[in-house]
Copies of this chain bind each other. A is one copy, B any other.
Amino acid sequence: MRALHMVRASRPYGDSVRQAAQRAQHACIDRARALIALLALGLLVVLSMPGTARAEDGYDLWLRYRPLAQADAVRPHATQLVAPETTPTQSATRAELLRGLSGLLGTDLAVQPTATADGAIVVGTPASSPAIAALRLKTKDLGREGYLIRSARIDGHRATVIAANDDIGALYGAFHLLRLVQTAQSLDALDIREVPRTQLRMLNHWDNLNRHVERGYAGESIWDWHKLPDYLSPRYTDYARANASIGINATVLNNVNASAQQLTPMYIEKAAALANVLRPYGIRVFLSARFSAPVEIGGLKNADPLDPAVKQWWKDKADEIYKAIPDFGGFLVKANSEGQPGPQDYGRTHADGANMMADAVKPHGGKVIWRAFVYSHETPDDRAKQAWNEFVPLDGKFRDNVMVQVKNGAIDFQPREPFHPLFGAMPKTPLMMEFQITKEYLGFATHLAYLGPLFEETLRADTQVRGPGSTVAKVIDGSLHAGTLPKGAITGMAGVANIGSDRNWSGSHFDQANWYAYGRLAWNPYLSSRDIAQEWARMTFSSDDAVVQPIVGMMMGSREAVVDYMTPLGLHHLMGRSHHYGPGPWVEGGPRADWTSVYYHRASKDGIGFDRTTHGSGAVSQYAPPVAAQFDDVKKTPEEFLLWFHHVPWDYTTKSGRPLWGELVHRYSQGVDYVRGMRRTWDGLKGRVDDERHAQVATFLAIQEKEAQWWRDASIAYFQTFAQRPLPEGEAPPAHALDYYESLEFPFAPGNG
């Protein structure tokens, strides 16, 4: 009502003229009144709807198309959309651009058959778009998934062109364009050419058919198997959108600790329904296969890979699956590891097993991804050596549609591990990287630990197998061994998903960044984790630098902080037994020595650390000679790997000048301090980040500080019993005695297998 008042108040004219003016005004006012009332009502109605306060619950992820402060600069580049819509992928592309741009810019783009004005966005392939065909762009070497984004003139109008050879490339390009807008980059004079560096960019869901997620900290599985194939949750589509936006093109639906039931007709039908949802977004479905399935669901007596009946069973099973899912990706197999069945049960090799299954899917273009995370029933001298020992002799013995999937490090997704010695050691075998996105060993969902630097550190590590610069990234993208790999060998990366049915997908807002960073690095393993953090923070929280920079600052040091308060200086595998929650450096006994902590830290009165030098387990020798020589020498070993490779006396002088014991305590405290710093930084963002997300992150940081302190205190209390030295000056003693920490039990910690 106040608005109308202001309009009425202006009557600045003489009498006769005034009447005319008044009439004019009234005519104007009547119309304006109607309009204003209408708009005000609309605004009121919309604003008053509960929930319109815009729950910032994180569901939108980084595809959070909220009004952009810099929208004015973008609008001239987004006046109309020329995009075909004759295939499902084309429809998805068009819908995403409309949704994104209208959300970000507050305008409705007109969809046009051709560009008729400046500012058109023209999307398509030479086949789907005459305008793009006419531009005769060099798209040949873009492959199926690459794309160009280019500023151009079409029919005399300024236009932004997204061109690809295939619909999926155009969809990726559309997401790229949206990212440019979301991160407030200029759309002038664009000349972008993107081709993914790896072919298979995959998520591994460790999701069981009962919806429990092994090592999942974000609620139960998003796959509602019971209601499939009939009910297709809208969430499946949003999952596909999020993955396509970062180029993920494959997903393994079920846990590597697989149930054979997954391969029964009922579950194949369910998987096919999911495949139908994911297909338009370029995502192919894979399944984890239990090696003994021919026995468990096939009625065979054994699962020997050389048994013709077993071979036939897998061929038939593959045929059955491909009938339901024509673009089925293939099988992921965890065999002869941690109790899973495998070819060694029949005296056969991993190659025998993998090749048998590879033959079954080969006629359909399928792949077999065989995990190198294996260790035998007998506890070895050093578990770190086993994968190398088992797999290097098999190099060159796998079918050309087999990939071997190798964890980033040789133990098991610790906060820090040196790169796995298999990288570079199998020049004839395509190796897939396996990263863990879910934070099994990094504080679960509540700890803020941005894993971009962890991924980057591994990818940039130099194997030196073909001289300096032989980075792990070059192994993964196939460039290092291009000459020796089988013809047509594919490349790829796998990430163990941190996705669950929690409203914000990942259990915490910041864990979304790990999914995002994984996808971006799978697309291009040479990206900088800091750049990715910048991108993500802008898309997820704000385009305001005063928000983005502190957030990126927090993120970039956060993983190092976890290393510090959990396992500094190369320590590893010191967590609570089985659930892996909280500190457990005292864990010993049980079925296997290499499932304990004491096996790994080897603390005694004399010192601490696992001697993997040539004088110890010899694991260093699995690396190329220059690397082996470096790790073999305690003085040359980077300090972050000190206790990984060396057993070091407590008074060993570290690079800081502090003796080892003092340095150890210092690192623990430093980790806790970093978390305190993150809390301060985050508190400073109150009011600049929406209240809902701010509150959850603030609470989680408080939990993280409490638990970081717990890790520090418990670890120090424990190791002090060996070091038998006082705490360095200024270091607070643990809050409790060691027996208190040892007494804590967490039988219901989430994510346990």
A interface list, Cβ under 8 A from B: 3, 6-7, 10-14, 16-18, 20-25, 27-29, 31-32, 35-36, 39-52, 54-55, 59-60, 63-67, 99, 102-103, 105-107, 208-211, 219-220, 225-227, 230-232, 234, 259, 261, 444, 446, 501-503, 692, 696, 699-700, 702-703, 706, 747-750
Report 24 cross-chain contacts, Cβ distance below 8 Å, ordered by A residue.
A12-B24, A13-B24, A21-B21, A21-B25, A22-B24, A24-B28, A25-B28, A42-B43, A43-B46, A45-B67, A48-B67, A48-B105, A49-B66, A49-B67, A50-B60, A50-B64, A51-B55, A208-B748, A211-B220, A225-B748, A226-B748, A230-B702, A230-B703, A231-B446
Residue on B nearest A57 in the bound complex, by CB:
B234
| Min distance, Cβ A287 to any Cβ of chain B, angstroms | 15
Bound: A231/B445 CA distance, A: 12
Query: Do the beta carbons of B692 and A234 come within 8 Å of each other?
Result: yes
| Min distance, Cβ A68 to any Cβ of chain B, angstroms | 10
Query: Do the beta carbons of A39 and B43 come within 8 Å of each other?
Result: yes
Query: Do the beta carbons of B28 and A10 come within 8 Å of each other?
Result: yes
Query: Do the beta carbons of B49 and A47 come within 8 Å of each other?
Result: no
**Of B7, B20, B99, B446, which is within 8 A of A13 by CB?**
B20
Tallying the copies of this chain within the complex gives: 2
Q: Which chain B residues lie closer than 8 Å to A16 at the CB level?
A: 17
Query: Do the beta carbons of A231 and B51 come within 8 Å of each other?
Result: no
Query: Do the beta carbons of B103 and A699 come within 8 Å of each other?
Result: no
Query: Do the beta carbons of B231 and A750 come within 8 Å of each other?
Result: no
Bound: A103/B749 CA distance, A: 40
Query: Do the beta carbons of B31 and A6 come within 8 Å of each other?
Result: yes
| Min distance, Cβ A438 to any Cβ of chain B, angstroms | 15
Bound: A31/B36 CA distance, A: 11
**Of B6, B13, B35, B105, which is within 8 A of A36 by CB?**
B35
Q: Which chain B residues lie closer than 8 Å to A211 at the CB level?
A: 220, 750
Given contacts A44-B107, A45-B67, A503-B503, 18 further A-B contacts (CB under 8 A): A3-B39, A6-B35, A7-B28, A10-B28, A10-B31, A12-B27, A13-B20, A13-B23, A18-B20, A22-B24, A24-B24, A25-B28, A32-B35, A49-B54, A219-B220, A219-B501, A220-B220, A231-B703
| Min distance, Cβ A429 to any Cβ of chain B, angstroms | 35
Q: From A21, A63, A209, name the one whose CB has the most chain B CB atoms within 10 angstroms.
A: A21
Residue on B nearest A752 in the bound complex, by CB:
B210
| Min distance, Cβ A74 to any Cβ of chain B, angstroms | 13
Question: Given that A13-B24, A66-B50, A106-B44 are known contacts, is A3 also in contact with B234, CB under 8 Å in the complex?
Answer: no
Q: Which chain B residues lie closer than 8 Å to A67 at the CB level?
A: 45, 48-49
Bound: A60/B51 CA distance, A: 9
Query: Do the beta carbons of B703 and A50 come within 8 Å of each other?
Result: no
Query: Do the beta carbons of B46 and A46 come within 8 Å of each other?
Result: yes
**Of B21, B48, B103, which is within 8 A of A20 by CB?**
B21
Bound: A48/B63 CA distance, A: 14
Q: Which chain B residues lie closer than 8 Å to A11 at the CB level?
A: 24
| Min distance, Cβ A206 to any Cβ of chain B, angstroms | 16
Q: Which chain B residues lie closer than 8 Å to A13 at the CB level?
A: 20, 23-24
Q: Which chain B residues lie closer than 8 Å to A27 at the CB level?
A: 10, 12, 25
Q: Which chain B residues lie closer than 8 Å to A64 at the CB level?
A: 50
Bound: A23/B12 CA distance, A: 9
| Min distance, Cβ A274 to any Cβ of chain B, angstroms | 15
Query: Do the beta carbons of A7 and B32 come within 8 Å of each other?
Result: yes
Q: Which chain B residues lie closer than 8 Å to A502 at the CB level?
A: 501
Q: From A11, A16, A43, name the one whose CB has the most chain B CB atoms within 10 angstroms.
A: A43
Query: Do the beta carbons of B226 and A750 come within 8 Å of each other?
Result: yes
| Min distance, Cβ A506 to any Cβ of chain B, angstroms | 14
Query: Do the beta carbons of B106 and A45 come within 8 Å of each other?
Result: yes
Query: Do the beta carbons of B749 and A230 come within 8 Å of each other?
Result: no
Query: Do the beta carbons of B35 and A7 come within 8 Å of each other?
Result: yes
Bound: A502/B16 CA distance, A: 69
Minimum-distance CB pairs A-B, first 4: A21-B24, A32-B32, A39-B39, A17-B20
Residue on B nearest A20 in the bound complex, by CB:
B17
Bound: A11/B54 CA distance, A: 42
Bound: A679/B464 CA distance, A: 66
**Of B39, B48, B225, which is within 8 A of A40 by CB?**
B39
Bound: A210/B66 CA distance, A: 36
Q: Which chain B residues lie closer than 8 Å to A65 at the CB level?
A: 49-50
Bound: A501/B14 CA distance, A: 69
Query: Do the beta carbons of B749 and A226 come within 8 Å of each other?
Result: yes
Residue on B nearest A19 in the bound complex, by CB:
B17
Bound: A22/B17 CA distance, A: 11
**Of B7, B20, B220, B232, which is within 8 A of A31 by CB?**
B7
Bound: A102/B503 CA distance, A: 26
| Min distance, Cβ A194 to any Cβ of chain B, angstroms | 25
| Min distance, Cβ A55 to any Cβ of chain B, angstroms | 8
Bound: A176/B681 CA distance, A: 45
Q: Which chain B residues lie closer than 8 Å to A106 at the CB level?
A: 41, 44-45, 48
Q: From A10, A51, A67, A696, name the one whose CB has the most chain B CB atoms within 10 angstroms.
A: A51
Q: Which chain B residues lie closer than 8 Å to A44 at the CB level?
A: 106-107
Bound: A102/B6 CA distance, A: 24
Query: Do the beta carbons of A28 and B17 come within 8 Å of each other?
Result: no
Bound: A63/B18 CA distance, A: 52
Bound: A702/B229 CA distance, A: 12
Query: Do the beta carbons of B48 and A102 come within 8 Å of each other?
Result: yes
Bound: A46/B14 CA distance, A: 42
Question: Given that A106-B45, A231-B696 are known contacts, is A747 also in contact with B50, CB under 8 Å in the complex?
Answer: no
| Min distance, Cβ A305 to any Cβ of chain B, angstroms | 26
Bound: A63/B67 CA distance, A: 29
| Min distance, Cβ A9 to any Cβ of chain B, angstroms | 9
Q: Which chain B residues lie closer than 8 Å to A51 at the CB level?
A: 54-55, 59-60
